[in-house]
Structure 1
Amino acid sequence: MLLSINEIQKEVDKLVLKIGYPPHSINVFSAPTNDGTPYISFENEMYNYVSSERGYEFSRKITKSIDELLYWITSSFVSHISFQYELEHRIPGRDGRRVAFPMIISLMAKMNKEWEIKAQKEIDKTLSNAPYDDSLYLYI
């Protein structure tokens, strides 16, 4: 049985508390906000994690797993705060992802130890396509 939107919000709130953020740091929506903010719909006994803007859908992920859904919801938030931290603590001549990526992995692990491996695999895939390149940041 799928969790309701209110139950999902409660689970998300528990997770963000684990990394030091207050409840509702992430707001879970059940309808489009028309600004690209993801929302959750329930179709065919599956969670649909959808992003759309002004009526145009540009992303849809579908799962039966509440764990997978919670990962998707929290990973976007964790990425945002990790890159914000990097921006505020930028090191000239150093690829900013060297700061943000380990922070992402650490925060995801604090919320759910199994997510550490998942986050690491996603980052490894990103780095295989776009390796660190400190030379791009010499003049920042």
Structure 2
Amino acid sequence: MTITVSGVMIAARDMAAKLEVSVRRVIAFSACSDFSTYVDVDGDDFHWIVAERAGREVKRRTTRSLDELMHWLAVEVTFHMAWEWGMEQRSRFPEREVIGTDRLARQVELLRRLDGSWAAQAQEGHVDAHSPAFG
């Protein structure tokens, strides 16, 4: 079965709706900025790519599973959403320190909206506590 960009976009739109963010927040099909992540679809293969300046590739993962690709995207977007949430909490409540476990709890909460098994995996192994872009 050949995977199409439109098929990936349908899944990305669903994820964006569940997270209440724009689809651009979930997926890109070309490098947008330093250390941006994007997806390349090549026949039956999905390539999840991290690029730095001038589009130089830093990291690549390849899969033939749309579910696995969506998991990688979910980890990335929820990591960034949890990080932003932590920064917001810091500015709203400067007397309270937001720590990594607070951000992980927020990420797990966001992942639970998408797939309970992704949330459980993040909670159990702390695997998803760090952005895969830098892991």
- Band of TM-score, shorter chain: 0.7 to 0.9
1:131 is matched with none
Identity of aligned residues (%): 17
Q: Distance in 2 between matches of 1:118 and 1:63?
A: 19
Contact 2:79 2:129 in 1 (8 A): no
TM-score, normalisation: structure 2: 0.76
Point out where structure 1 has 5 or more consecutive residues left out of the alignment. 128-140
Name the counterpart of 2:119: 116
More moved, 13-22 vs 37-46: 37-46
Aligned to 1:138: none
Q: 1:16 to 1:87 in 2, by over 3 A?
A: same
**Once superposed, what is the RMSD of the aligned Cα atoms?**
2.6
Q: Give the structure-1-normalised TM-score.
A: 0.73
Give the gaps of 5 or more residues in structure 2: 131-135
Distance 1:122 1:59, change over 3 A: farther
Q: What is the aligned length?
A: 126
For the residues of structure 2 that align with 1:2 and 1:28, how far apart are their CA atoms?
A: 19
What does 1:76-115 align with in structure 2 at a 5 Å threshold? Answer: 76-90=76-90, 92=95, 94=97, 96-115=99-118
